[in-house]
Amino acid sequence: MGHRREDCNRLLTREEETALGRLKPLVIRHLDLILETVVLHLGSEPEAALLLQDAVAVTRFKESQREYLLALLDGSRQKRAAVGGQEDSSAGRPLELNPRWHLRMLGQVVTAMQPLIQEAFESRPALHRTIDNALLKVVFHDIERLT
């Protein structure tokens, strides 16, 4: 099913890379909704609410997360590292909250994206599964870097 054994460092198969490429335009179209959903959820947590209480902080958060999420969908560690200037998970943590917050943010992003993915790709179950697998791989890979 397209797995490449000769490159053990490769996170995604070519099929999964292609699938993420097909997901990216959908996410771009709905990125404002996804980010607003994440902000609303995080804003209900005391630690994040303190940092997201003014429009400037919310805008800064959304911009950094926009870059981070688009780099995440590229499936490239190098591109994610370039967004944050280093290859660690702090690239997605612009407000300097703890790793638990980053985990929650990733969970909220995946949760917000699932209905969009379902609606867009439900008529193509194989592609839908490949997109889900690829998305989970890049998210879980990022989570691994937190520990």
**Predicted local confidence at residue 97, as pLDDT:** 58
What is residue 76's predicted lDDT score, i.e. its pLDDT? 55
Confidence (pTM): 0.74
> 75: alpha, beta or left, given left = phi > 0 and alpha = psi -120 to 50?
left
Token duo for residue 113 = 């994206």
What pLDDT, on the 0 to 100 scale, is given for residue 142? 84
147 residues of the chain, pLDDT tens digit each: 444 333 434 789 999 999 999 999 999 999 999 999 988 888 777 777 777 888 898 898 889 889 888 988 875 544 444 444 344 444 444 455 577 777 888 888 999 999 999 999 999 999 999 999 999 999 888 888 876
Q: How far is CA 134 from the centre of its chain?
A: 11
Residue 90 is given by DSSP the state G
Question: Residue-wise over 45-57: b if at least 16 C-beta within 10 A, else e?
Answer: eeebeebbeeeeb
Give yes or no for a contact between 102 and 64, defined as CB atoms under 8 angstroms apart: no
Whether residue 20 contacts residue 135, with contact meaning beta carbons closer than 8 Å, is answered with yes
- State the pLDDT at residue 126: 96
